[in-house]
Amino acid sequence: MAVDTSVIGKPTGAWKVTVERGPSERFAAAVTDDNPIYSNLGAAKAAGFDNVPVPPTFSFAQSYWGSFSEQQPPDPTGGQNPMHSLMGALFSKGGLVLHGEQEFTYHRPIVVGDVLDGTGVVTNLYEKDTPKAVMTFIVIETTWKDAASGAPVVTETFNLIHRLNK
């Protein structure tokens, strides 16, 4: 069964986020990281940061915190996120949808007070056929840039997998 790769290159969304200290501290607590740089400005400054940094992987969740509706850019998907449409169609056939690989490339630390612009795009779509299942992989890349300078801050690569037993 061949997949329709025409979604490669299509946007999955755009966001503007203001990084706030409270959600960052709660995230650190949720992942059981008690490093004081994530909750104490003095400790963060002593470690060389200008402000309290966010814990690694926080950027994956940051669009749920600090994204104020009046600051959001227009939706580049026109309300039709290709990842949601594709995975919805696959999931309707049964099977499982799994979070696969996740990769973060940091260009600089994210700190409290940053205002970041994020854009997502489908970078790959492929299938692997095994004797027991067909697995469809959709790869999304989200780039977060400093809203003031446009400089990249972090690039996330996310792999979502649909597994359908034969």
Return the pLDDT at 105.
Answer: 97
Please report the pLDDT score of residue 136 as a whole number: 94
Of 127, 126, 154, nearest in space to 141 by CA: 154
CATH of the domain spanning 5-165, picked from 3.30.420.40, 3.10.129.10, 3.40.50.20, 3.10.450.50: 3.10.129.10
> Whole-prediction pTM value?
0.89
How far apart (Å, rounded) are the C-alpha atoms in residues 122 and 139? 6
Low-confidence ranges of the chain (pLDDT < 50): none
Distance in angstroms (rounded) separating the CA atoms of residues 23 and 111: 12
Give pLDDT, residue 91.
82
pLDDT of residue 25: 95
| CA 144 remoteness from chain centre | 9
Predicted local confidence at residue 1, as pLDDT? 56
Residue ranges of domains in the chain? 5-165
